[in-house]
């Protein structure tokens, strides 16, 4: 085995991973709840970018329901972002589930 070749391949993989992560930060994913009345948009790095709440859902008497809908929409968006991340990084690893690489996002 040629150590310099292995190091070269590792550097190339690291560069590809950095590019994929940069691309993921530019992609947006929207999760929704309540039939789309609450929507949360995140990027591929699981950062919340925006929250949209339709007016009929904003009722002070129903604050707990609104909180639940926001949590559900956020979890939906984060799940979709994690799936996107695993798909994108899976291309780099040839579909292998390498701990720390394909699951770099927190659950």
- pLDDT category, 97, cuts 50, 70, 90? low
What range does the domain containing 95 cover?
27-107
Say which CATH number the domain at 71 has: 3.30.1310.10
* CB-CB contact of 34 with 58 (8 Å): no
Q: What is the Cα–Cα distance from 46 to 74, expressed in whole angstroms?
A: 10
Is 8 a member of any domain? no
* CB-CB contact of 76 with 40 (8 Å): yes
Structural domain count, the chain: 1
- How do residues 84-94 score in pLDDT, each as one tens digit? 988 888 777 66
Compute and round to an integer the Cα radius of gyration of the chain.
18
Is 97 a member of any domain? yes
Is 95 a member of any domain? yes
pTM: 0.73
Is 2 a member of any domain? no
pLDDT at residue 106 above 50? no
Beta strands across the sheet bearing 48-53: 28-33, 38-43, 48-53
- How do residues 47-87 score in pLDDT, each as one tens digit? 999 999 999 999 999 999 999 999 999 999 999 999 998 88
Is 10 a member of any domain? no
Within 27-107, residue ranges assigned H as helices are 63-93
Is 4 a member of any domain? no
């Amino acid at each position: 085995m040629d150590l310099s070749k292995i190091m070269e391949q590792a550097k190339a993989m690291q560069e590809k991973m950095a590019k994929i992560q940069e691309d993921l930060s530019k992609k947006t994913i929207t999760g929704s709840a309540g039939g789309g009345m609450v929507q949360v948009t995140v990027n591929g790095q699981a950062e919340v970018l925006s929250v949209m709440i339709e007016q009929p859902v904003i009722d002070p008497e129903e604050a707990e329901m609104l909180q639940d809908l926001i949590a559900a929409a956020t979890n939906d968006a984060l799940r979709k972002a994690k799936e996107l991340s695993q798909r994108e990084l899976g291309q780099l690893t040839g579909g292998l589930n390498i701990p720390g690489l394909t699951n770099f996002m927190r659950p």
